[in-house]
A and B are shown apart, each in its own frame.
Chain A
Amino acid sequence: MTKSNKNQLTYLEKFQNRYFTKSKYGKLFIYICLTAWSMTTIFPLAWVLLNSFKESRDIITDTFKFPTNPTLQNYINAFETVNIGQSYMNSFIMSGSTVFLVLFFGGFAAFIMSRMNFRFRGVLQTLLVASLLIPAFATIVPVYRMMINMDLVNTYWALIIPQTAGNLPFAILVISSYMATIPKELEEAAFMDGCSRLKMYTKIFLPISLPSFATVGTFVFLWSYNDLFSSLVLVSHEKVAPIVVLLSNVSSQYGTDYGLMTAAIAMTVIPVIIVYLFAQKTFEKGATSGSVKG
């Protein structure tokens, strides 16, 4: 029997052995519960998306109906009245730079942390783990002051630098634990061939560890894209504000323009859903191994 056959057999057996499977009604009940919960996750977003193509007054009168005359007016308004295009660009510049810097500096540090022994290695390792417990609230006041002193508030750097700093420990931990699994022989062979440490990293360790870079990159992108707290403090000026700040302003300024609000929500959510669908497997895997709550 091949391995895959054997797995299939135990897979079937597993279902026969575990609970509820004997009763038909029990099974039906399970499917109803599960579908009900998935409705709660799909329905609100579907409702928003549907309504974003309606005129504002139709949202009020026919909130559940399919749009009779689908219109892009709400999206056009979003670009014209609240300048959502600019915030989109701000978000992508800041989150993109954060991801790049975290992976660039984090990768080098992870390589050393996973492959080499030196005097303060233990101390640094403890420091990395401990920093996962530092919430943004506990650093923001001094960071804000530093940014004022350096005259960086309301520039892209004001958000990029602290977010890079905050995400580096997570990146180093995840990437270095991945690099630690790379066999020592590979390193020795490369050394025999006269490979320098820099070459060893760029030619061997970096390419092999790309999956862990992808996981970290996805996480860091989503965290930084979604981070409202730091953004409100450091980059709230409309010229540099990311999309989440715009979103929090929309409800207070245009709270009665339901069309605009639905369009703004849809436009904020769509990029992250796309990122999620692409990176779903790595993302879920990462969530179960090294997990931090945003």
Chain B
Amino acid sequence: MKGDKKYIFLFLTPAFLISGVFLYYPFFENVVQSFYKTDGFFNSTFIGFGNYIRLFQDEVAIGSTLNSLELMLYVAIFQVGIALVLAIMVDSIKHGAAFYRTTFFFPIVISGAAIGLLFTLIYNHRNGLLNEILVSLGFERILWLTEQSSLYMVAIPTVWNYVGFYFVILLTAIGKIPNDYYEAAKLEGITGFQRMTKLTLPLIVSDMKTCLVLAITGSLKIFELVYIITGGGPARSSEVLGTYMYQKAFEDSAIGYGATLAVLMVVIGLTLAFITNKLLKSDGITY
């Protein structure tokens, strides 16, 4: 059409300009920053791989990476696992499915900050929800956030927060399986349990793969819950890459090193997403 070029340019430029300047450029600039030592915000010296060498000698960075990976494992197993069990269950009931969908899903819309504060109250030693339950049952109060337990204590709300998301994805996937498959299986005389392992699960493998990739890449972005519930403590026992990166870049003003930690997060995320994709390679099923 005549004058189309003008419109293409006019309509596309604002959006791509904004994203270009405040998303793509900072992304590459962040990589560049990771090669600089920065004290105060504007005095930078090029130090090559200095920050990356520091990374491998920094016990806190290694500890945070291991904590992040451990959290990732819990998130992948329990978020997707619980979601799968719940989805299969909701699919097999007649009444109340809408109610369960709504209540299971809604923690997702609540901010990590609010959930963090909520769980601070739940774990609170003096009058937290958990200790009040214990006391009313005649038990002693427990200190919930210790060096041994803190990582589990942040894993629980993280898992709880997102189960509903994977639940909805998997429930939708199960709902799409045509009924003929089940009828055929019935004629073959397959038992209920076999029906699940041989029919339902294989048919939603690709959706479970999507969930796993999302859970894994999402777990690297964990920040709010840890920041508010434990602040990474006690004694760094629940420090994750997100909170450590925030601390280095914005509390200790080690901007260059913070950028390096951010690069590490991206690299881990891409690698794991790639590996998960390869390992769980399967052809998508269309009905």
Contacts and interface: CB of A to CB of B under 8 A. Distances in A.
A124 interface: yes
A172 B15 contact: yes
B249 A140 contact: yes
Contacts of A17: 179, 182-183, 185-186
A272 B109 CA distance: 6
A228 B23 contact: no
B144 interface: no
B278 interface: no
A233 interface: yes
Contact of B21 (A101, A165, A197): A165
B193 interface: yes
B221 A118 contact: no
B30 A276 contact: no
B1 A191 contact: yes
Contact of A109 (B15, B94, B165): B15
Interface string A17-60: 11111100001001101100110111011011000000000011
Contacts of B26: 138-143, 146
Contacts of A145: 41, 255
Interface string A149-179: 0000000000001101110110010000000
Q: Is the interface of B mostly helix, strand, loop or mixed?
A: helix
Interface in B124-141: 126-127, 129, 132, 136
Interface string B230-270: 00000000000110011001100001001101110110011
A293 B112 CA distance: 12
Contacts of A268: 111, 113-114
Contacts of B132: 63-64
Interface stretch (A68-76, A78-86, A242-250): A242-250
Given A34-B93, A112-B11, A262-B121, A138 B30 contact: yes
A284 B103 contact: no
Interface in A1-27: 10, 13-15, 17-22, 27
B24 A131 contact: yes
Contacts of A63: 127, 129, 132
Contacts of B29: 141-142
A232 B193 CA distance: 49
Interface in B93-114: 93-94, 96, 99-114
Contacts of A168: 15, 18-19, 23
B126 A60 contact: yes
Nearest to B14: A105
A94 interface: no
A64 B246 contact: no
B121 A258 contact: yes
B172 interface: yes
Interface in B58-107: 82, 85-86, 88-94, 96, 99-107
A141 B258 contact: yes
B276 interface: no
B16 A124 contact: yes
A169 B111 CA distance: 22
A275 interface: yes
A261 interface: yes
Nearest to A201: B11
Given A105-B14, A168-B15, A197-B7, A247 B262 contact: no
A36 B26 CA distance: 45
Nearest to A147: B22
A229 B30 contact: no
Nearest to A143: B26
Question: Which of B25, B30, B82, B172 counts the most A-chain CB atoms under 10 A from its CB?
Answer: B30
A197 B214 CA distance: 38
A127 interface: yes
Contacts of B269: 133, 135
Contacts of B33: 141-142
A108 B15 CA distance: 8
Given A17-B182, A30-B93, A251-B228, A141 B1 contact: no
A228 B227 contact: yes
Contacts of A273: 106, 109-110
Given A229-B224, A269-B110, A284-B168, A169 B19 contact: yes
B214 A127 contact: no
Contacts of A93: none
8 contacts: A19-B192, A105-B18, A112-B7, A134-B27, A135-B265, A142-B33, A197-B11, A269-B114
Given A139-B27, A139-B30, 16 more contacts: A19-B192, A19-B195, A108-B11, A138-B27, A141-B29, A144-B249, A145-B41, A164-B22, A165-B18, A168-B18, A169-B23, A248-B117, A269-B110, A275-B109, A284-B101, A288-B172
